Amino acid sequence: MEKISQFKGLAVPLKISNVDTDQIIPAVFLKRITKTGFEDGLFANWRQNPDFVLNEPRYQGGQVLIAGSDFGTGSSREHAVWALRDYGFKAVFSSKFADIFLGNAGKQGLVAGVISEVDTERIWAFIDENLGAEVEVDLPSQEIRVGDMVIPFSVDEYTKWRLTEGLDDIGITLQNEAAISDYEAKRESWKPKTLPARGV
């Protein structure tokens, strides 16, 4: 995973609350066999409406989603995070996230930061008035900089650590490579091996 510290990106306002994972990516997209390429599934049903925010020319190439409260509720599908990430979003902000979504986002390198409802409204207002407004996300100092505003966001320490270090679960385990190799050196010789194949 890429290490994340500061980045600038076009902000997209999603002025809807209670966005569940079925809306983020409908179930029909779950049958795929890849872990990438889910961008077409992102908000697929809503995107059929030409007026949906992601269809507006001014929001093409958005990287930072400013969403209403209770984002990512419902089914635990990891695909919701994959879809956001594949579409190009690097961060999502909301005044409240579902726990499982937060966990999945952290694992997949998507910043999910909690901001206050008042700040959500302030950012929306700024974007509305400033065509092509970019926001700067600063993960180490947990700040979003928009125009003259500096808005704090919260993210748990462990997730922040893994995002700034660019570590997924596997990366964290691999930091214990020595312990794994030590264990392997002591494994009993009677334990089975699938290779070379016997019984075929």
Partner 1 sequence: MSNKPLTLAEKLWRDHLVLKGENGAPDLLYIDLHLIHEVTSPQAFDGLRLAGRGVRRKDLTIATEDHNTPTENIHLPIADPTSRAQVQALRDNTAEYGVRIHSLGDDNQGIVHVVGPQLGLTMPGLTVVCGDSHTSTHGAFGALAMGIGTSEVEHVLATQTLPLQPFKTMAINVEGTLRKGVSAKDIILAVIAKISTGGGQGYVLEYRGSAIRALSMEGRMTICNMSIEAGARAGIVAPDQITFDYLKGRPHAPEGDDWDQALKDWAELKTDEDAVFDAEVFIDADTLDPFVTWGTNPGQGVSLMDSIPDPESFTDPSQKAAALRALEYMDLKAGTKMKDIAVDTVFLGSCTNARIEDLRVAAEILKGQKMAPGIRMLVVPGSHKVRLQAEEEGLDQVFKDFGADWRFAGCSMCLGMNPDQLAPGERAASTSNRNFEGRQGKGARTHLVSPMVAAATAIRGTLSAPADLEL
Binding site for partner 1 (CB under 8 A): 1, 31, 33-36, 78, 107, 168-170, 173-174, 176, 179-180, 183-184, 187-195, 197-200
User: Taking the complex as a whole, how short is the minimal distance between the CB of residue 133 and partner 1, in angstroms?
Assistant: 32
Work out how close the CB of 196 gets to partner 1 at its nearest, in angstroms, rounded to a whole number.
Answer: 8
Q: Tell me how far the alpha carbon of residue 170 is from its chain's centroid.
A: 17
Measured at the CA of 35, the angle between CA 20 and CA 136, to 5 degrees, comes to 65
CB 75 to partner 1: min, Å: 13
> Which residue's CB is nearer to partner 1, number 38 or number 71?
38
- CB contact at 8 A, 46 and 52: yes
Three-class SS of residue 20?
A: strand
Supply 185's token pair.
Answer: 């050196």
| CB of 187 vs partner 1, minimal distance in Å | 8
DSSP label of 97: B
Nearer to partner 1, 69 or 75 (CB): 75
Pairing relation of β-strands 149-152 and 134-138? unpaired
State the DSSP string of 73-120: BSS--THHHHHHHHHT--EEEES-B-HHHHHHHHHHT-EEEE--HHHH
Q: Output 148 or 193, the one with its CB closest to partner 1.
A: 193
With H, G, I as helix, E, B as strand and everything else as coil, classify residue 9. strand
CA distance 107 to 163: 8
- Cβ proximity to partner 1: between 128 and 169 the closer is 169
- Nearer Cβ to partner 1, position 31 or 129? 31
Please state the closest distance from residue 4 (CB atom) to partner 1, in A.
16
